[in-house]
Amino acid sequence: MKRLLITGVSGFLGYHICQAAQTKWEVYGTYFFHSIEIPGVKCSRVGICDRNILKQLFDEVKPDAVIHTAAISQPNYCQNHPEESYQVNVTTSINIAELCQEKSIPLAFTSTDLVFDGKNAPYKETDIVNPLNLYGEQKVLAEQGMLAKHPLTAICRMPLMFGAKTPTATSFMQGFIQTLEAGKELNLFIDEFRTPTSGISAAKGLLLVLEKNLNGIIHLGGKERISRYEFGKLMVEIFNLTATNLKACLQADVKMSAVRPQDVSFDSSKAFLLGYQPLSIREELLVIHKSKF
């Protein structure tokens, strides 16, 4: 079997990729802050921000392909820690692209819908980026730098992702559920729109990108545009949660370090034509509910 190196396997998406990849790949994974063991995956703690350590990893694993998910992905944290987040999100990503170029191997990089300003959705791959916060800016710089170093890079722009918790990570859903189960008020935006998908579907999309030998930019969004509030209502219904504490609010009601665009929903028709088939949000939530989330 060919060898697949996945960075950030202790993260929500990285873990799901490991689960999906093992039928066709010999999987190697890196983590740093959160130690994890995944059956069937050779996991190791690696400081990938050190280029020499990164090169040593590539020499030892000899990957046939790489999926780079490791990142500091909290927009507010990036806004308040610009140098640290730049090192992880930009410099390290470009270093990985350079090493993949040297070894002539395909690379899939997970970018974000936050590269857009939210004023002209739904967004296609060819639309002009204009991020409103530092995290989005860093992902744009990474996209550009990686393609310049290694044109065979597939820039996979990912939507908001949800799903059952992993051994070391959660999606935004778990916080929603905990708030409601604790009897507290859950305020969700009615004026912020995304095209979310599950971690399981997103992982399948990334592996499809490698299977199809894609390069350049591709959007891996879900099939439905939905607000956080509407998502919350659907989750409450399917998980049989108490709805009385679910409240609607506006982005302007919540002060955050990082500005958030209002509508970064994707047009992912390019990926759908290639065989990427995420389930509907309702179907995804029903699957998660059965897994006891």
Across the range 7-27, mean pLDDT stands at 96
Which pLDDT value is given to residue 243?
Answer: 84
CATH, domain range 163-194+225-265+280-290: 3.90.25.10
Which pLDDT value is given to residue 9?
Answer: 96
Classify domain 2-161+198-219 by CATH architecture: 3-Layer(aba) Sandwich (3.40)
Q: Kindly report, residue by residue over 150-176, the tens digit of the pLDDT.
A: 999 999 999 999 999 999 999 999 999
Residue 222 pLDDT > 80, yes or no?
Answer: yes
d(CA 281, CA 265) in angstroms, rounded, equals 14
Cα dist. 182→10, 158, 179, 242 in Å? 27, 31, 5, 10
Cβ atoms 72, 78 nearer than 8 A? yes
Which pLDDT value is given to residue 292?
Answer: 64
d(CA 153, CA 145) in angstroms, rounded, equals 10
pLDDT class for 242, splitting at 50, 70, 90?
confident
Which pLDDT value is given to residue 256?
Answer: 87
Residue 225 pLDDT > 90, yes or no?
Answer: yes
Across the range 35-45, mean pLDDT stands at 94
Which pLDDT value is given to residue 200?
Answer: 96
Cβ atoms 218, 155 nearer than 8 A? yes
- Range(s) for CATH 3.90.25.10 in the chain? 163-194+225-265+280-290
Cβ atoms 229, 190 nearer than 8 A? yes
- Please list, residue by residue across 203-225, b when 16 or more beta carbons sit within 10 angstroms of its beta carbon and e when fewer do: bbbbbbbbeeebbebbbbbbbbb
What is the reported pTM? 0.95
